[in-house]
Structure 1
């Protein structure tokens, strides 16, 4: 909607609000040719700026951001609740880890070399459509108010409220970057899900171990449930997991991270005005049944850039296909109602499905025939019953998950 005329302090072809994975990935794609003027509005250091995060995904190579990849693994392992491990080699895919600080530094350096890309340190206050595009009103660290004009605005800020949904779970976690007194880890194998931890009465929980060296790793405690834990509860769970299950012995916690990711069958709007779009988690890039986001963000960013560079039109495609979202909706509901046993379900998938096909399935890249074959390996009765029930359930509003504490808030 158009408002009163406001003087514009600066203009660009594209303004991107938010300098996280989605915003910077899109900026990277749009500035590669130098044909578009792109401004990224990032909050300055302070409470509005997210704490450092870890992003993981799988790919055949290192991709566009290989210089920032801090670790990768050729082997993946899942421990069933019965203690029996399943180790797979998903070649030609590898599991890759990015730390947000390294990723941001890499993309910032590329934007600095681009003649038409720039970073603006400011807090975005409002985004609106105007007659010939859109405007972003923001406040600089010294208190000045700036109005940025653009043909298109892409907003990656997390939504304050989630769209209505039939099911909403949270993937919530706390992780320790640990250093052990001796060699305790196999740097070639990442533990994606370790169900040897005590399971909650509702939902599921697992350990997650990403070795960085024989004596260093990121060790996380993760839950899928309706509500997150307190920091003290995560600390207790991590202490028990590292001592009793992993038996790591003496260790030092060098850093910690904590987060909450919505897992929901909500329909996230990707266009919220004539010239205003949402991207990243705000635009539905988070895979509902797994919480993985980074790979979908890359697909979405490439597609948006291709459209703008081809004919100047902004098209934001759905990050996930309808079939994948429908299957995720059934799984989320089955987990939320307790109709299926989460640890048995995920362990069974890894035990019965070729690893490369399973990872493509989790990324929404399998064919209907492959999906059918995987579907026959899951608890058919509970899943079919849930699928029949879903169309009759009412969608309800849910609050957005609270932001994770910043490092200085963590013990």
Structure 2
């Protein structure tokens, strides 16, 4: 395959780099809204291809990707360190779970309906501007060098280094998909935060339980802290949580997943060239104070597809400015220890109507609603933190080491 022939054949109106949630969502919306010649470049099988992952979000109506939803819950529960529970019904909202493999299959099948949509398995080496667009240099799964050109390139690859920030914590976790010998779970209730686990010196920790059946669930141990743990430490924490806290009895671990999500008030550039744009977590779609990403990715993808269809080039903010500013205060207050993490989140869910709180976390609340939520938090520590933020220097975070 010659370079010139490859370049001519691999020309697209839009090129999407990365086959995670952001890349798949955008490729879907670009094709479904009528943008022609979309090429989605995914990593070939091997070390660059991520393991299967779980994505969760809440919605109040049937969604575009419901066929890939493997479970949903009408009620949510928070458990305080002393065992007190707060169980709520967020009205019309349901908490939904997607697994990356079924989601990928669904989007691929839809892209297959369009003659001008292509999924390319290749390793991307460089994305750069060129006259009239941008180009992506890559190596195909067969080992051939290839350049794909497009009017727009949307890059969802993870950043090698995070941008400078005033506060950076990590949401890191390991989860087991378990099957118990007897029914132990309520399939209608999702445990978002169970604080009956030992707390780290810096940050907070909680259990997370998403039932799939009376005897099956995803059980995770999660921390918000400066450094990830070793796999051995996660396994120890999960054994403690399933045995000594949940008292699940005999169980089998059918599969496991592990990950790290940066929680940071860094400013993520959404445009890195005249025709090159960052999307997804690499473009700031992860909500700084919670780690949720999927709902913002969907909103951003729909907006980008509409802009491309209308002949404009813009990648909107994934979260409102107010939400990002408030999250920066929460992150700093947690990082400095001015607020107690388990008490803060427990009180927030206890004192705030769940539907309002979830709309706030999804960036859909009004300023008056946000003020009412703010008054339900520790006001003086939050005001002190908000006052000092403008004077703090943004620093490039150093790569964290494993702790404990």
TM-score by length of 1: 0.95
Deviation for aligned residue 1:8: 2.0
Look up the match of 2:324: 325
TM-aligned CA distance change 1:262 to 1:6, over 3 Å? farther
Matches within 5 A, 1:117-196: 117-196=117-196
2:16 is equivalent to residue 29 of structure 1: no
Instruction: Tell me the SS of whatever aligns to 2:370.
Output: helix
Look up the match of 1:91: 91
State the alpha-carbon separation in 2 of the partners of residues 164 and 366 from structure 1: 28
Deviation for aligned residue 1:227: 0.1
State the alpha-carbon separation in 2 of the partners of residues 173 and 78 from structure 1: 18
The runs of at least 4 aligned residues of structure 1 exceeding 4 Å deviation read: 399-403
* Counterpart contact for 2:35–2:308, Cα < 8 Å: no
State the alpha-carbon separation in 2 of the partners of residues 78 and 51 from structure 1: 29
Deviation for aligned residue 1:157: 0.2
* Counterpart contact for 2:178–2:217, Cα < 8 Å: yes
Instruction: Tell me the SS of whatever aligns to 2:159.
Output: coil
Instruction: Tell me the SS of whatever aligns to 1:205.
Output: strand
State the alpha-carbon separation in 1 of the partners of residues 30 and 398 from structure 2: 33
Instruction: Tell me the SS of whatever aligns to 2:112.
Output: helix
Deviation for aligned residue 1:146: 0.3
TM-aligned CA distance change 1:400 to 1:54, over 3 Å? farther
State the alpha-carbon separation in 2 of the partners of residues 202 and 390 from structure 1: 20
Deviation for aligned residue 1:33: 3.9
RMSD of equivalent CA atoms:
1.4
* Counterpart contact for 1:203–1:223, Cα < 8 Å: yes
State the alpha-carbon separation in 1 of the partners of residues 91 and 372 from structure 2: 20
State the alpha-carbon separation in 2 of the partners of residues 133 and 93 from structure 1: 41
Count residues in correspondence. 398
2:355 is equivalent to residue 359 of structure 1: no
2:393 is equivalent to residue 394 of structure 1: yes
Residues 225-261 of structure 1, C-alpha deviation per residue, up to 9 Å, x if partnerless?
Answer: 0001100000000000000100000000000000000
Instruction: Tell me the SS of whatever aligns to 2:273.
Output: coil
Deviates more, 1:50-59 or 1:312-321: 312-321
Look up the match of 1:72: 72
TM-aligned CA distance change 1:179 to 1:332, over 3 Å? same
State the alpha-carbon separation in 1 of the partners of residues 36 and 333 from structure 2: 46
* Counterpart contact for 1:7–1:147, Cα < 8 Å: yes
Deviation for aligned residue 1:283: 0.3
State the alpha-carbon separation in 1 of the partners of residues 255 and 391 from structure 2: 46
* Counterpart contact for 2:71–2:96, Cα < 8 Å: yes
Deviation for aligned residue 1:401: 7.1
State the alpha-carbon separation in 2 of the partners of residues 49 and 97 from structure 1: 21
Residues 139-190 of structure 1, C-alpha deviation per residue, up to 9 Å, x if partnerless?
Answer: 0122110001100000000000111000000000000000000000000000
* Counterpart contact for 1:14–1:151, Cα < 8 Å: yes
Deviates more, 1:267-276 or 1:312-321: 312-321
TM-aligned CA distance change 1:303 to 1:402, over 3 Å? farther
Residues 280-338 of structure 1, C-alpha deviation per residue, up to 9 Å, x if partnerless?
Answer: 0000000000000000000000000011112x222100000111000000000000000
TM-aligned CA distance change 1:142 to 1:329, over 3 Å? same
State the alpha-carbon separation in 1 of the partners of residues 182 and 100 from structure 2: 28
Instruction: Tell me the SS of whatever aligns to 1:397.
Output: coil
Look up the match of 1:61: 61
State the alpha-carbon separation in 1 of the partners of residues 308 and 140 from structure 2: 29
* Counterpart contact for 1:129–1:273, Cα < 8 Å: yes
State the alpha-carbon separation in 1 of the partners of residues 7 and 146 from structure 2: 8
Deviation for aligned residue 1:70: 0.2
TM-score by length of 2: 0.97
Instruction: Tell me the SS of whatever aligns to 2:32.
Output: coil
TM-aligned CA distance change 1:283 to 1:309, over 3 Å? same
Look up the match of 1:284: 284
Deviation for aligned residue 1:34: 3.9
State the alpha-carbon separation in 1 of the partners of residues 92 and 298 from structure 2: 19
